[in-house]
Amino acid sequence: MPVSSNFIDYVKIFFKSGKGGDGAVHFRREKYIPKGGPDGGDGGRGGHIILRGNKQLWTLLHLKYRKHIKAENGQPGGAKNMTGASGKDVIIEVPLGTVAKDAQTGQVLLEITKHGEEKILLPGGEGGKGNTRFKSATNQTPRIATPGKPGKEAWIILELKILADVGLVGFPNAGKSTLLSVLTAAKPKIADYPFTTLTPKVGIVQYKDFKSFVMADIPGIIEGAAEGKGLGIRFLRHIERNAVLLFLIPADSKDYEQEYRILLKELEKYNPELLEKRRVVAISKSDLLDDELKNEISSTVKFDVPWLFISSVTGEGLEKLKDILWEQITLAKENEKITPEGNEKN
């Protein structure tokens, strides 16, 4: 089953910033000033390549077919100490959570996490100096100027890691899409077969007192995902940006604790730092269990994090789940000195 072509979270583009304009060699020549001094102006700066955050974008789809992006060169300096015009900057709008990497070395160059945030990906070359700059007591008529400096060029990877307060983690068919559709206005495709979710889905969960937080449904993990099996590491990277991880384990699972350990193992193999995130476990589809079975499970199952029974069908435990998630998000955000999405800290 092919992945939706509308969700693009990885592009490789050749970027080139503009060359600086050359400095000018020129001398003032007027009717009554036949031997004026140097008045050659500096060249203009080459255009920058700039990335700007846009919260209205959720994908890199708009960049999928742009393989070469170049900024304008600066213009040369002119007479009368006129500085050449700077090359026009190229501003690339990207979703929040976009990381730029050098395609050859893998080095992270920058990341965009805020709406309206602008960062220079490749600076334009500086303009050259006109001959006015070289005038001195011993050299009244300098006939030299410097050329503009070249721009930067590189193949760069833009990679999207979705920004969300809560990331849903679980095997295929754990009920993640159903939970997201019930708690938010998101409408992910829902069906009872593996890999229904082939692209991350994001929704806003409304909470008490007009508060809200962002929840992302990450495609189902399978054992071996960190090595590229199933949907592989393509979607594991989206979990890196979540403040809290909500593990969904279906009520019909054979071994709740074992399933949880396998999920943790896959996250650890991909990035051990993921285990430092706050975690909550929800036993989903609990409408399949009667009270006696729930009591038995509660007395035998041991998790090292907050956990509860929930049902997206009956609504069981959903309000309590939101309370727990808000508490965990707030604790996680306090370490970063920020509050959940869209809420200012007092």
pLDDT (tens digit, 0 to 9) for every residue of the chain, 346 residues total?
334 445 678 899 999 999 999 999 999 877 766 677 899 999 999 999 999 999 888 788 899 899 999 999 999 999 999 999 999 999 999 988 899 999 999 999 999 999 999 999 999 999 999 999 999 988 988 999 999 999 999 999 999 887 789 989 888 878 888 898 899 865 544 334 333 344 667 788 889 988 888 888 877 565 444 444 444 455 667 778 788 999 999 999 999 999 999 989 888 887 888 889 999 999 999 999 999 999 999 999 989 999 999 999 999 999 999 999 999 999 987 776 544 544 544 4
Final residue before a domain boundary, out of 160, 176, 197: 160
The span from the CA of 244 to the CA of 200, in Å, is: 16
Q: What is the pLDDT of residue 74?
A: 98
Same domain, 176 and 152: no
In the chain, alpha helices (H): 176-183, 233-236, 256-270, 291-300, 318-336
Does one domain contain both 189 and 146?
no
- 3-class state of residue 209 by DSSP: helix
Q: What is the C-alpha to C-alpha distance for residues 176 and 323, in angstroms, rounded to an integer?
A: 18
Looking at the fold, whether 189 and 137 belong to one and the same domain comes out as no
Residues 110 and 176 in one domain: no
Q: Give SS3 for 194.
A: coil
Is 342 domain-assigned? no
Provide the pLDDT for residue 175: 85
> Are 4 and 148 members of one domain?
yes
Q: How far apart are CA 128 and CA 24, in angstroms?
A: 8
Q: How far apart are CA 255 and CA 238, in angstroms?
A: 27
108 and 201 part of one domain: no
Phi then psi for residue 62, to 5 deg, are -65, -10
Residues 297 and 224 in one domain: yes
Tell me, yes or no, whether 52 lies in a domain. Answer: yes
Which CATH number is 247's domain given? 3.40.50.300
| Last residue in a domain, options 141, 160, 179 | 160
Residue 32 lies in a domain: yes
* In-domain check, residue 345: no
Backbone region of residue 81 per phi and psi (left: phi > 0; alpha: psi in -120 to 50; beta: other values): left
CB-neighbour burial class of residue 294 (10 A; exposed 0-12, middle 13-18, buried 19+): middle
Residue 306, domain member (yes or no): yes
Gyration radius of the chain's alpha carbons? 28
Indicate the residue among 117, 142, 160 that finishes a domain.
160
- Residues 151 and 175 occupy one common structural domain: no
Per the structure block, which two tokens stand in for 58?
């959720």
Does residue 188 lie in a domain region? yes
149 and 182, same domain (yes or no) = no
Both 176 and 322 in one domain: the answer is: yes
CB 310 within 8 A of CB 321: yes
Q: Containing domain of residue 40, as a range?
A: 1-160
Judge if 255 and 132 occupy the same domain: no
Residue 289: predicted pLDDT:
93
Q: Are residues 148 and 51 in the same domain?
A: yes
Query: Residue 300 is which amino acid?
Result: T
pLDDT, position 89: 98
Kindly state whether residue 41 falls inside one of the protein's structural domains. yes
For the chain, what is the domain count?
2
The per-residue pLDDT for 334 is 79
Q: How far apart are CA 59 and CA 74, in angstroms?
A: 32
Strands 153-160 and 166-169, how do they pair?
A: unpaired
